[in-house]
Chains A and B, each alone.
Chain A
Amino acid sequence: GAGVSQSPRYKVAKRGQDVALRCDPISGHVSLFWYQQALGQGPEFLTYFQNEAQLDKSGLPSDRFFAERPEGSVSTLKIQRTQQEDSAVYLCASSLGSGNTEAFFGQGTRLTVV
């Protein structure tokens, strides 16, 4: 596709429900990032993949958060037993290489936990 695609765009989950957020990066992009953006804040790093390898997951806030990219392309961010503090926009970005190349962002998934 032309850009990074994320689905769903909006997700409302009841507290305690599990959710899965999908990211389709730009074709051929090696690096993939997940960020969490709370309302009125800057994005906060969650995790980073280089191809299928998860090289950095230091930003995942708890063991309820899990991300995977099994074939080095599409990635899924899973949140188990959602809590109200998980409400945020989850942004996915991809970049062509592992060096200092531009990161392109998707439109994000807005998660609201009620």
Chain B
Amino acid sequence: QQQVKQSPQSLIVQKGGISIINCAYENTAFDYFPWYQQFPGKGPALLIAIRPDVSEKKEGRFTISFNKSAKQFSLHIMDSQPGDSATYFCAARGAGNNRKLIWGLGTSLAVNP
């Protein structure tokens, strides 16, 4: 059973547009929600992360929106650029000694020039 569900599986956006990727989780013990960006042949790199005590976090063109009651969070990429074309993963981590990340299945983003 997928504990973190991510959609869409793939996304095509025009340059300058807004890319939106959504994730939903089941376990209310999760207390840290990162988004990772992965280019082909590379390891995932942290893009932005949020904790459930805030509803939104913005870093440059990247924004996480978090809805604790709905157990959902989303990544918004403003002014999308061809260089943003990559696979994006949402993830969640539990509190306490459980340090492992539970990952979504990924979204392949293509930004057309």
Contact = CB atoms under 8 A, between A and B. Distances in A.
A4 interface: yes
A102 B46 contact: yes
Interface string A62-94: 000000000000000000000000000001010
A105 B100 CA distance: 13
A91 B36 CA distance: 14
Contacts, number: 58
Interface string B9-39: 0000000000000000000000110101000
A40 to B, nearest CB: 8
A31 to B, nearest CB: 6
Contact of B43 (A4, A40, A48): A4
B100 A100 contact: no
A72 B49 CA distance: 27
B49 to A, nearest CB: 8
Interface of B: 6, 31-32, 34, 36, 41-46, 49, 51, 89, 91, 93, 97-106
Interface of A: 4, 31, 33, 35, 40-45, 48, 50, 55-56, 59, 91, 93, 95, 98, 100, 102-108
